[in-house]
Amino acid sequence: MSDPITVRVFDIVGGQLGVSADDGQRVFNKIAPLLREGKKVSLSFEQIETLISSFLNAAIGQLYGEFPEENIRELLSVRDMDDEDIVMLKRVIENAKVYFKDPKRFDKAWKEEVGNDEE
């Protein structure tokens, strides 16, 4: 099988910060089409100094709403992350898997929590 395509987060976001959900969306927009084509992707966090969960939710978490977990595990690898960021990524992935099993229930619970009176 062919080597994975390396996608560098630094090149997409244009700097060392992975903090914006919009930048995370740009990463998602780069890797999702490759995964749809069945291509292996190696997502490199080399040179990224700061990451937050909203960035990872947009970049990686939302993949679980489109692709089966097995496909993601088979096609996507992540590298060049420090241990603390790997722990955060694992938490993002677990939360995404739970959310995408029943997004309507979570959305309803969220609306109830924040007191949405539009119903």
This prediction's pTM: 0.86
Burial class (CB in 10 A: 0-12, 13-18, 19+), 61: buried
Residue ranges per structural domain of the chain: 5-114
How far the first Cα of the chain sits from its last, in Å, is 52
Could you list the mean pLDDT of each consecutive 10-residue stretch along the chain, which spans 119 residues? 90 97 98 97 98 97 96 97 97 92 69 62
Q: What is the pLDDT of residue 38?
A: 96
